[in-house]
Structure 1
Amino acid sequence: MADGGDSLEDIGRCIRDLREAMGYDKASLFAEFMGWPPPQLSNYETGQKRPEVSMAIQLCRNTHVTLNWIHVTLNWIYEVNPRASAGYCKSYPGSP
C-alpha cells in the first residue's frame, strides 16, 4: 500500500475484509444486506470501480465503519469495533 491505502484495489480489499469480518462468506448475501446488485459489490471488491460517495456513506451507515476506514487502510478491527478481539467482528445488526 505504497499509495497510502486508497487505490481501488486497497479499497476493494477493505470492503471484502469487512464483509468477511461480519460473517458474510457469500458476497451475494452481503450485497443483499447492502441493497446492492451483486455485480456492483464485485466491482468494488475487485477494484474495478470506486464506490460513489452515496454508496460509501451507505456502507458506513450499514456497517458502522468510517469513510476514513474505507479510503485509508488502518487497523480495521479498531475502526469496526473497538472492543472486539483481533480477528473477530460479527456482532453487527444484519450479520448472519
Structure 2
Amino acid sequence: MSFSNLAMQRILFTNREYCQASDLRIDSCPPDVSNCRMVKNWDGTGLDAIGRRLALTRQVLGLQQNEFCERAKIAANTYNQYEKGKKRPSVENAIRLCEAYHLTLDWIFRGDPSGLRYETADAIKAARAARASEANN
C-alpha cells in the first residue's frame, strides 16, 4: 500500500486506527505493517523541511546556490539561511523563487508537489527515492 505525499503525516495500522507521527512517514506498507519502511519526512512545514526542499529543488535543477538565488534576485547569504533551515523564506522571496523556477508556495512551505511542472516533480520524486534507498542501506 502506498500513500501520497499529502497523506504521509499519519500511519494506517492494521486495526484502522491512526497514529500521529511527528517527523516520519510511510514510504510503502505491505500487508504486514511491522515491515513498513520509515523515511525522514520531507513534507513538514518546519524550517528544516523547507530548507531540504529548497536544496533538493536546486540540486535537481542542476544549479549551484549562487546561481539559484541570483536568478530569483535573492541575496546569497539570505538564501543560504533558508537552505540551512535557519530562516523561513519571506513570502516575497518565496514568490520570486516560484516565478523564477515555476515552483508553488505549496511546494516551498508545505511540501505539496502537485502544482509543480511534471519534469521537476518527477526529478524530485526520483531524487527522494534515491536518498531513501541510500538511507535504508
TM-score (norm 2): 0.54
Which residue of structure 2 aligns with residue 87 of structure 1?
123
Alpha-carbon separation, structure 2, partners of 1:15 and 1:22: 11
Runs of 4+ aligned residues of structure 1 deviating over 4 Å after TM superposition are: none
Matched, 1:22 2:58: no
* Contact 2:45/2:111 (<8 A) preserved: yes
Which residue of structure 2 aligns with residue 70 of structure 1?
108
CA RMSD of aligned residues (A): 2.3
Which residue of structure 1 aligns with residue 47 of structure 2?
8
Q: Which has the higher contact order (CA 8 A, sep 6+)?
A: 1
Larger Rg: 2
Amino acid at match of 2:94: A
Which runs of 5 or more structure 1 residues have no equivalent in the other structure?
89-96
Which runs of 5 or more structure 2 residues have no equivalent in the other structure?
1-8, 10-21, 24-42, 125-137
Alignment of 1:40-51 (within 5 A): 40-51=78-89
Alignment of 1:46-57 (within 5 A): 46-57=84-95
Amino acid at match of 1:80: L
Which residue of structure 1 aligns with residue 38 of structure 2?
none
Percent identity of equivalent pairs: 31
For residue 85 of structure 1, report the CA deviation from its aligned partner: 7.8
